[in-house]
Structure 1
Amino acid sequence: MAVERTLTILKPDCVRKNLIGTVTAQIQEAGFSIKALKLTRLTKETAGGFYAVHKERPFFGELVEFMSSGPCVPMILEKENAIEDFRALIGATNPAEAEEGTIRAQFADSVGENIVHGSDSVENGKIEGAYFFAESEVVANNS
């Protein structure tokens, strides 16, 4: 199995609920290494750029509004099978459908405010990671 990188964003609802440490601990306990991390606040323009793939969807405006409503914490994570394992850890987008014990089942309130973003492919993980971090900001090795 190959080592992969994925991007996660602890969304504004996660930050507002003071869950940064709790969610980050669960991520690390699941075997992910944090390669880059920052606290930032997206503007409507940067949120719209990041989620441009959803521009034609009816929820796009709401998503941009929510993602620019407060600080968030993007992170690049690394692990063997990172994409699939991370998506299993966070659970379904709709917290009502998320398996018990997943991050969204534990902490999310709705489809729109679902605590955490996770890349859906290795390629998107690279693209999304580069949206938030220059390569020089990504730690190659934790030792």
Structure 2
Amino acid sequence: MEMTFAMIKPNAVKSGLVGRIIDRYISAGLSVCAVKMHQMTSEDARGFYAEHVEKPFFPELEAYMTKGPSVMLALGGENAIAKVRAINGATNPAKAEPGTLRYDFAPSMTENVVHSSDSPASAERELDFWFKKEERYAYEMPSLKACCVL
């Protein structure tokens, strides 16, 4: 089973979208292996987005990410990285496919409601940044047909 990191950003939390977003991941067969709500500090933002600190857009990103709590998720399942990125849609909501989280909920590229790891190396780094190993619980989601009386 592959595990990846996803984050529900402050504007989505404030808009009451946490449950709807997590439901999309679960409905796609992903398991929630860890979850926590956390308000990023400037130090957190500089550590998590270290590759962007010197870029001109970083001050706006830092201000956005520290303005309210985010929900951090470890998600597991077959092809979890690709699956989460497909559910999220293109970073720019104007280019996202209909039915993706960013198409449905993101007001702009800056406030694009979710983040997810783009590779196994990013997933490992991002999971380790927010969760201790002992805080993650790997399990496969059962098929809905297997667990429900129809």
Report if TM-score (shorter chain) is over 0.5.
Answer: yes
Q: Which residue of structure 2 lines up, in the alignment, with residue 58 of structure 1?
A: 56
Q: Which residue of structure 2 lines up, in the alignment, with residue 80 of structure 1?
A: 78
Pairing of 1:1-143 with structure 2 (within 5 A): 3-141=1-139
Q: Structure 2 CA distance, aligned partners of 1:86 and 1:28?
A: 10
Q: Which runs of 5+ in 1 are unaligned?
A: none
Q: What code does the residue aligned with 1:109 have?
A: P
Instruction: Tell me if structure 1 keeps the 8 A contact 2:8–2:18.
Output: yes
Secondary structure of the residue that 1:123 maps to in structure 2? helix
Q: Structure 1 CA distance, aligned partners of 2:52 and 2:65?
A: 13
Q: CA deviation at 1:139?
A: 1.0
Q: Structure 2 CA distance, aligned partners of 1:45 and 1:29?
A: 34
Q: Relative to structure 1, is the Cα distance of residues 142 and 82 closer, same or farther in structure 2, using a 3 angstrom cutoff?
A: closer
Secondary structure of the residue that 2:4 maps to in structure 1? strand
Q: What code does the residue aligned with 1:22 have?
A: R
Normalising by structure 1, report the TM-score: 0.95
Task: Point out 4+ residue stretches in structure 1 off by more than 2 angstroms.
Answer: 140-143
Q: CA deviation at 1:70?
A: 0.1
Instruction: Tell me if structure 1 keeps the 8 A contact 2:76–2:138.
Output: no
Structure number with larger C-alpha Rg: 2
RMSD: 1.2
Give the total of aligned pairs: 141
Secondary structure of the residue that 1:73 maps to in structure 2? strand
Deviations 1:39-86 (A, max 9, x none): 111111111110011122211111111111001000000111111111
Q: Structure 2 CA distance, aligned partners of 1:6 and 1:60?
A: 24
Q: Which runs of 5+ in 2 are unaligned?
A: 142-150
Q: CA deviation at 1:142?
A: 6.7
Q: CA deviation at 1:38?
A: 0.5
Deviations 1:64-115 (A, max 9, x none): 1111100100000011111111111100011010000000000000000000
Q: What code does the residue aligned with 1:88 have?
A: A
Instruction: Tell me if structure 1 keeps the 8 A contact 2:5–2:117.
Output: yes
Secondary structure of the residue that 1:129 maps to in structure 2? helix
Q: What code does the residue aligned with 1:74 have?
A: M
